[in-house]
Structure 1
Amino acid sequence: MIEVRQSAGGDPLKFEVVVRDTAGETRHVVTMAPATHQELTAGQYSPAKCVEAAFRFLLDREPKEQILARFDMAVVPHYYPDFLAKLPSYLAPS
């Protein structure tokens, strides 16, 4: 389960994320500039939904324990060049 809570507005937006499974939980702090949110979603999805989709993308590629404890959403494409192309499928309702 991925729980995303926006903890600060402004620039950047700040989120607290908890990822839980049967083995336990990890906690993460994620920032995202409003401009990055616009670039990633064209305003079609909330910032929290965008962060949740990014975590689902990351969890398909690495265990929760390997996801950085603190990061900005703008760094994800540096680690995963296919992130921008794949994100829309993680944002789309299933």
Structure 2
Amino acid sequence: MATIEVTETSPNSFSVTVHGSHTTTHQVSVKPDYAGQLLDATHNASQLVAASFEFLLDRESNTSILRSFDLSVIERYFPEYPKAINRYLK
């Protein structure tokens, strides 16, 4: 199982390192309006990014995940993402 490290690099921007059979690093931006559609009051954007990577890793390897993207892009590839993400938020 992969380990996910999320670091906020600036407001609404995160660096994500995934340690699996191969280690990868990703740059992810999160628009506040988009995060607000997916989050409840008990979670923050950093937790959303981590949960989003768990979601992605259930569907593809970390080497297949884009190296730089806005979080809303996930929905283009996986239309079920907005409804499924709540199951990944801890």
- Can you give the 5+ residue segments of structure 2 that lack an aligned partner in the other structure? none
**C-alpha distance after superposition, 1:47-87 (max 9, x if no partner):** 10000000000000000000000000111111101101110
**Alignment coverage as a number of residue pairs:** 88
How large is the RMSD of aligned CA atoms in angstroms? Answer: 0.9
Normalization by structure 1: what TM-score?
Answer: 0.89
Whole-Å separation in 2 of the counterparts to 1:62 and 1:28: 15
Superposition pairs for residues 32-47 of structure 1, below 5 Å? 32-47=30-45
- The answer on 1:75 being equivalent to 2:73 is yes
Following TM superposition, the consecutive aligned residue runs of length 4 or more in structure 1 with deviations greater than 6 angstroms are none
Normalization by structure 2: what TM-score?
Answer: 0.93
Bigger relative contact order (CA 8 A; separation at least 6): 2
- Can you give the 5+ residue segments of structure 1 that lack an aligned partner in the other structure? none
